[in-house]
Structure 1
Amino acid sequence: MHELVETRQAGRISLVAATAADARDTRQGKDVVVTRGSTFENQANLAPTFLAAVRQRYEGTRLGRQELNAELLSDNPGALWQMDWLDRDRVSAAPELRRIVVAIDPAVSNNEGSDETGIIVAGVARDGQVYVLEDGSGRYAPHEWAAKAIDLYRSYKADRILAEVNNGGAMVEATIRALDPRVSFKAVHASRGKVVRAEPIAALYEQRNVHHVGGFAVLEDQMCARSRRILIAQRSATHPIVSTRWCGR
């Protein structure tokens, strides 16, 4: 079967994945062919005045890379995270970790239109570098996300489960304790907005202090699509990464 995807709208991570332009896609060169055509390849069919005008306006800009040079850009310029950072510092295995946590950001409901419950496993090494080990996020009923978090806590021999409790209050801890009263649990009360909490974590990524162990396609697409405006209005699986700042405590 052959499929043709034609676009001039870049900056769409899902499209990058579909065309194997993302370096993580192992199909490149096997069953996916990417063909690009720049504006300049078609200049014989364009009015000189038009060509001069668009070059003057867009050449050398990000939009020009997309519209003139036919680059399929995978980054969102307004996002707190960039895919290049994640790929640059990705590792295949974590070193010995001195502390591991399972962080949860529970959704307030679990119907079809609900937000995900974010569940992230992360650890900190002896040199202070942070490693994201697993993304267990999804749409769960309360007993389901509690069971998922406990399973990860046990399988990674984690030191603690962290949970943001602004929405659920004591219910979050009670749900976990009902399944296993012996787990080490700490509630995280967010006193500041999502952007204020997320920006220092994004800075750690930019400074090469956070590494993803393997690939987390859904999580990473969410991270790199989240602008400051969207982060204010919407929860996502990225929020437990904010809570992993407690790793070293």
Structure 2
Amino acid sequence: MKALSESEAQHLSDSWAFWARDEQTPPKGDWRIWLFLGGRGAGKTRAGAEWVRAQVKAGCRRIALVAPTFSDVREVMVSGPSGFLNIGDEDDRPRYEASRHRLIWPNGAEAHGFSSEDPDGLRGPQFDCAWADEFAAWTRPQETLDMLGLGLRLGEDPRLMITTTPRPLPALKALLTQSGVVMTHATTQANAAHLAPGFVAAMTERYGASRLARQELDGVLIDDPEGALWTRSLIDQALGLPAFEPERVVVAVDPPASASGDECGIIATGCSGQGREAQLVVLKDMSLQGRPEVWAAKVAEAFEAVDADWVVAEANQGGDMVRAVLQAAAPDLPIRLVHASRGKRARAEPVAALYAKGRVRHAGRFPALEDQMCAFGASELSGSPDRVDALVWAIAALTPQAASPRLRRL
């Protein structure tokens, strides 16, 4: 294999198309706003700067650069390690006029910096593309975004790229529901090769069981909708409780209503102590989507994995069928079928109360279960909360006095 020359190696080193990950490249199709959500150090700034460079090469001549403050425009977007003054071929780099917050490329294209502290600064100017950085940290996000959008009126296809670590701001949540918005997502881990050695491991060790980690490292939008029975702070509390050895373990199953559609909730939970003094631990979430023989096999697998004492299965959707399917997967499986006489929220409220009292521990991070928990009970909840249902059945079976959803055993 022929070795690369020095100029070829330099060209390859400067080639963003070669080094960029898929989520760092513009989505295909027709869109107006590209929203790139990512954890700290996930490569958002480099992606934004490279996208603007590509727009300049494609003919854009008036660009808006918007950050939380003018200092952020200068220190991050312009002169930072992934900023315009430090990427690409030196001959193609712009010069920066600090007094005017302006970049000028050799081909005449201009980019002007703006601060979210001054939305009115975007009144008047017009652009054919824009890059908005750290949107979730903007002082006045909705007002600034509105002014920016009104200025994107040049060229045949004016577009906006937004890069940010997410926070549950109304303006960001509104963006996710708008037409013409496409999203890509990256974690800090995905860019670990370009970060200080040990940084990701250190941050994961320090914050790995917290809401902060999911937001700042995983780049996940974390929110507590109004009316939900659980909050992210309750999840963080459950993750931080001391470990203990459970005396009894149960695998709870909430079968899907159809043969192929909703997930089958499969939650393994343990308990130590009796009655109102019992302490509980959620051991595993093995929920999945699939046909009856698939989820039944997963239940049997979960039973063996946690050395469970019995299986609790919700039987509202046909108790005999549920028992038969489970016994076909594992004939000796000890099964207790239960049937609820109250609605989902009424059954879940005593379990949520146990979390509030600090009596339920999570043995690990269960993102899908946590997301269902922190949406359960909210008016905007959609879909079937199968994981939460299974969790409620498990805890109710282990602590019938502390969390009694008025169930009948069949």
TM-score, L = length of structure 1: 0.72
Please tell me whether the aligned partners of residues 117 and 138 of structure 1 are also in contact (alpha carbons under 8 angstroms).
yes
Counterparts of 1:165-180 in structure 2, within 5 Å, are: 165-180=315-330
Q: What is the letter of the counterpart of residue 230 of structure 2?
A: W
Counterparts of 1:12-51 in structure 2, within 5 Å, are: 18-20=37-39, 28-29=40-41, 31=43, 37=68, 41-42=117-118, 45=121
**Matching residue of 1:155:** 305
The separation in 2 between residues aligned to 1:230 and 1:43, in whole angstroms, is 31
Counterparts of 1:95-174 in structure 2, within 5 Å, are: 95-111=244-260, 114-126=261-273, 128-174=278-324
How far 1:212 sits from its partner (Å)? 1.2
The separation in 2 between residues aligned to 1:230 and 1:73, in whole angstroms, is 15
Count of residue pairs the alignment pairs up: 214
Higher Rg: 2
How far 1:248 sits from its partner (Å)? 3.6
Change (3 A) 1:73 1:146: closer
Please tell me whether the aligned partners of residues 108 and 168 of structure 1 are also in contact (alpha carbons under 8 angstroms).
no
How far 1:226 sits from its partner (Å)? 2.5
Instruction: Kindly provide the CA deviation profile for residues 26-59 of structure 1, in whole angstroms up to 9, marking residues without a partner as x.
Output: xx346567x9739972266499xxx9xx9xxxxx
Q: What is the RMSD computed on CA atoms of the aligned residues? A: 3.4
Q: Choose 95-104 or 200-209, whichever is displaced more.
A: 200-209
Task: Find runs of 4+ consecutive structure 1 residues off by over 6 angstroms.
Answer: 3-7
Counterparts of 1:204-219 in structure 2, within 5 Å, are: 204-219=354-369
Determine if the alignment matches structure 1 residue 197 to structure 2 residue 347: yes
Please tell me whether the aligned partners of residues 283 and 362 of structure 2 are also in contact (alpha carbons under 8 angstroms).
yes
Q: Which runs of 5+ in 2 are unaligned?
A: 1-19, 27-32, 46-65, 70-114, 124-139, 144-167, 172-220, 401-410
Q: What is the letter of the counterpart of residue 120 of structure 1?
A: I
Determine if the alignment matches structure 1 residue 247 to structure 2 residue 398: yes
The separation in 2 between residues aligned to 1:80 and 1:6, in whole angstroms, is 33
State the SS of the aligned residue for 2:283.
strand
Instruction: Kindly provide the CA deviation profile for residues 142-197 of structure 1, in whole angstroms up to 9, marking residues without a partner as x.
Output: 11111111111112110110000001221111212223232221111111111111
Instruction: Kindly provide the CA deviation profile for residues 72-126 of structure 1, in whole angstroms up to 9, marking residues without a partner as x.
Output: 7622222221112112220498411011000000012233xx1111000011123
Change (3 A) 1:36 1:208: farther
Please tell me whether the aligned partners of residues 195 and 231 of structure 1 are also in contact (alpha carbons under 8 angstroms).
no
The separation in 2 between residues aligned to 1:29 and 1:151, in whole angstroms, is 38
Please tell me whether the aligned partners of residues 121 and 134 of structure 1 are also in contact (alpha carbons under 8 angstroms).
yes
Please tell me whether the aligned partners of residues 104 and 149 of structure 1 are also in contact (alpha carbons under 8 angstroms).
yes
Q: What is the letter of the counterpart of residue 75 of structure 1?
A: D
How far 1:230 sits from its partner (Å)? 5.8
Q: What is the letter of the counterpart of residue 19 of structure 1?
A: G
Q: Identity of counterpart residues, as a percentage? A: 35
Q: What is the letter of the counterpart of residue 297 of structure 2?
A: A
Q: Which runs of 5+ in 1 are unaligned?
A: 8-14, 21-27, 55-63
Q: What is the letter of the counterpart of residue 124 of structure 1?
A: C
TM-score, L = length of structure 2: 0.45
Change (3 A) 1:98 1:108: same
How far 1:227 sits from its partner (Å)? 2.9
The separation in 1 between residues aligned to 2:393 and 2:227, in whole angstroms, is 22
State the SS of the aligned residue for 1:172.
helix
Please tell me whether the aligned partners of residues 345 and 377 of structure 2 are also in contact (alpha carbons under 8 angstroms).
no
The separation in 2 between residues aligned to 1:179 and 1:88, in whole angstroms, is 36
